[in-house]
């Protein structure tokens, strides 16, 4: 975002690559595009010192090539979050917490204190707004409903990182399927082949889907393209309801939209 506003951005990370939870070829393409937008990366590096200056800060960074100093207007620290539970004084209760301060709950989000529930990011689960909403559904179902919902039968859900364009994914990656010994077929296509990307003026990106070669059930999908955050929800719905890839392939979509990509992506079955 800051790079889009015209700032020069340098990202410092201990890892050897960015976006490690996504398909590696898509993560690499996103990195190249970010660099094209003026973002620099210092990977396998550690921030070892920060000193205030009249105009900002001086950063001292240990990199594989040695010590590097950077002058910057500001420093944004994004090293993760910790549950904000200190003022709750949970040590005075029977509620237990984990190694990162998260409140421990069972599959219906009940704590060790009977009839006391914890919802959302504070439980240490997936930290998404829509997961917090589903947590409420689970709790409400057990308090007022038929007690059938739990974290074990949560619907299929996607996630998105809002870059330019956004990366969205759902289900398994190729590495995860290989590790599990699951057979799969890979479907790929460039985002530039979707007419809507030309209308928008941003043809960057790629689509990648993994399907069961026998049943054609969708096992996972990663989309790096305009409006991926919308398109991915259609795939999530298909996976949740065990629809075959042919269902999405044969659907008639409005034109011109990014959803039309599903016709061509799944036409490769």
Q: How many CB atoms lie within 10 A of CB 45?
A: 19
Per-residue model confidence (pLDDT) at position 135: 97
| Residues recognised as catalytic | 255
Per-residue model confidence (pLDDT) at position 79: 81
Hey, which bits of the chain come out as E strands?
9-13, 39-43, 46-53, 56-63, 66-72, 159-161, 167-171, 185-190, 206-211, 218-224
Question: Could you give the percent of the chain with pLDDT greater than 90?
Answer: 92
**Which CATH architecture is the domain 159-268 placed in?**
2-Layer Sandwich (3.30)
Query: With 90 as the cut, is the pLDDT of residue 82 above it?
Result: no
Q: In whole angstroms, what is the distance from residue 120 CA to residue 164 CA?
A: 28
Per-residue model confidence (pLDDT) at position 200: 97
Per-residue model confidence (pLDDT) at position 57: 96
**Phi, psi (5° rounding) for residue 47?**
-80, 115
Per-residue model confidence (pLDDT) at position 4: 84
Domain ranges of the chain: 9-72, 97-153, 159-268
Compute the mean pLDDT over every residue in the chain, rounded to the nearest whole number. Answer: 96
Per-residue model confidence (pLDDT) at position 100: 87
Mean pLDDT over 58-66 rounds to 96
Per-residue model confidence (pLDDT) at position 125: 87
Per-residue model confidence (pLDDT) at position 3: 86
Contact 223, 232 (CB under 8 A): yes
| pTM for this entry | 0.92
- The 10s digit of each residue's pLDDT in 86-134 is 999 999 999 999 988 999 999 999 999 999 999 999 999 899 999 999 9
Query: With 90 as the cut, is the pLDDT of residue 198 above it?
Result: yes
- The 10s digit of each residue's pLDDT in 23-52 is 999 999 999 999 999 999 999 999 999 999
Query: With 90 as the cut, is the pLDDT of residue 195 above it?
Result: yes
Query: With 90 as the cut, is the pLDDT of residue 265 above it?
Result: yes
Closest CA to 150 of 101, 115, 107, 118: 107
Token pair in block for residue 160: 């998105």
Contact 109, 123 (CB under 8 A): yes
Residues 6+ apart with CB under 8 A from 52: none
CATH class of 9-72: alpha beta
pLDDT class of 2 with cuts at 50, 70, 90:
confident
Q: How many CB atoms lie within 10 A of CB 180?
A: 10
Residues 6+ apart with CB under 8 A from 63: 42, 44, 45
């Amino acid at each position: 975002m800051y790079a889009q506003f015209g700032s020069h951005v340098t990202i410092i990370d201990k890892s050897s690559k960015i976006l490690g939870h996504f398909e590696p070829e898509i993560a690499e393409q996103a990195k190249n595009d970010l660099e094209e937008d003026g973002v620099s990366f210092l990977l396998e590096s550690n921030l070892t010192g920060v000193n205030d200056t009249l105009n900002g800060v001086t950063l001292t960074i240990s990199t594989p090539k040695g010590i590097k100093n950077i002058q910057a207007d500001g420093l944004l620290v994004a090293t993760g979050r910790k549950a904000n539970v200190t003022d709750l004084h949970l040590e005075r209760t029977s509620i237990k917490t984990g190694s990162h301060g998260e409140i421990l709950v069972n599959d219906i989000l009940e704590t060790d204190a009977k009839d006391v529930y914890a919802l959302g990011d504070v439980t240490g689960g997936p930290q998404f707004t829509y997961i917090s909403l589903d947590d409420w559904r689970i709790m409400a179902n057990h308090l007022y409903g038929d007690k059938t919902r739990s974290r074990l039968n949560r619907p299929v859900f996607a996630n998105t990182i809002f870059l330019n364009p956004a990366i969205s994914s759902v289900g398994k990656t190729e590495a995860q399927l290989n590790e599990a010994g699951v057979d799969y077929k890979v479907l790929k296509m460039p985002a530039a082949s979707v007419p809507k990307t030309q209308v928008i003026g941003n043809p960057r990106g790629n689509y990648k889907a993994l399907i069961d070669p026998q049943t054609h059930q969708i096992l996972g999908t990663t989309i790096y393209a305009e409006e991926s955050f919308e398109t991915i929800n259609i795939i999530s719905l298909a996976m949740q309801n065990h629809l075959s890839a042919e269902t999405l392939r044969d659907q008639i979509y409005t034109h011109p939209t990014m959803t039309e990509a599903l016709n061509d992506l799944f036409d490769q079955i």
